[in-house]
Amino acid sequence: MKFRAKIVDAACLNNFTRVCNMIGKLAKTCTLRISPDKLNFILLDKVANGGVSMWCELEQENFFNEFQMEGISEENNEIYVELTSENLSRALKTAQNARALKVKLTNKHFPCLTVSLELLSISNSSRTVTHDIPIRVIPRKLWKDLQEPTVPESDVSIYLPVLKTMKSVVEKMKNISNHLIIEANLNGELNLKIETDLVCVTTHFKDLGSPPLGSESPSQSRNLEEMAEVRIDIKKFLQFLAGQQVNPTKALCNIVNNRIIHFDLLHEDVSLQYFIPALS
């Protein structure tokens, strides 16, 4: 089992750092899946227990100048390791001024993901900073629990407004309630709503647009004005919004009425799926 990769392009290095910072904000620990053409950052908490799920995907050829890996076998040419997300984002803090980034699997008394940054000094000489991030190698028998989540058929799909705007609204709402109702319809309307014994506050977004419906979609026969809603933990939603450093090129929200909300985001060469279950 081997893995080593290198980035020398400054734009790719900044993009990779931004992705790792986002993951650090979204998940305390995560699984890194390494395959010949992709990297995935995975968090699959049990939805039944109120946990969120995340599936982030990077095409390796859009990031790495060199990429070599050997999985556990020819037929199972993949590697799954668990790591503390913050350790990776912290290791990349100095990457902004780096000339190159190397990342590889090593064993230094314990399994590590070793991150090496080649930094330029004022005198134009270079120095290398190395971080050994402890990891846990996940055995093959547990891989089946770490596959891409299936997206349930949604009652309503709608494009999201600017995420920074949503974040500022939700930050104020969290001071009033621990729960948030997100409701939307096929007419491009989305509401963020909190309700307590003393107050009800709603923020309305209009004309957001919806993706085209497939001919067999259950939403096809739905009344355009009819709202689908989900009541969620406001802190989990705020954590998702806080993880978005730049506004994505595509941001879609899929609501399964009173069951789950699924966010589908595209950031240049990175796709992110994020699932928050409804509160019972």
- Range 143-156 average pLDDT: 90
Show Cβ contacts of residue 271 under 8 Å, excluding neighbours closer than 6 positions.
56, 57, 264, 265
* pLDDT score at 219: 58
Percent of the chain with pLDDT over 90: 76
Contact status, residue 231 vs residue 261, Cβ threshold 8 Å: no
DSSP notation for 96-114: GGEEEEEEEEEESSSEEEE
* pLDDT score at 91: 93
Q: What is the pTM of this model?
A: 0.91
Within-domain flag for 151: no
* Cα distances (Å, whole numbers) of residue 135 to 22, 54, 91: 19, 19, 14
Contact status, residue 210 vs residue 172, Cβ threshold 8 Å: no
Please state, in angstroms and rounded to a whole number, the distance separating the CA atoms of residues 135 and 140: 16
Within-domain flag for 248: yes
Among 146, 179, 205, which residue terminates a domain?
Answer: 146
User: Residue 116 belongs to what domain range?
Assistant: 2-146
The DSSP output letter for 13 is H
- Do 88 and 165 belong to one domain? no
pLDDT 10s digits, 208-241: 999 886 655 555 667 889 999 999 999 999 999 9
Q: Which helix (H) or strand (E) is 91 found in, with range?
A: helix 85-91
* pLDDT score at 51: 85
Domain count, the chain: 2
- Do 115 and 165 belong to one domain? no
* Cα distances (Å, whole numbers) of residue 130 to 69, 88, 102: 20, 12, 9
DSSP notation for 65-90: SEEEEE-SSSTT--EEEEEEHHHHHH
Among 77, 111, 146, which residue terminates a domain?
Answer: 146
Contact status, residue 226 vs residue 173, Cβ threshold 8 Å: no
Contact status, residue 58 vs residue 39, Cβ threshold 8 Å: yes
Within-domain flag for 85: yes
Report, in angstroms and rounded to the nearest whole number, the Rg of the chain calculated over CA atoms: 21
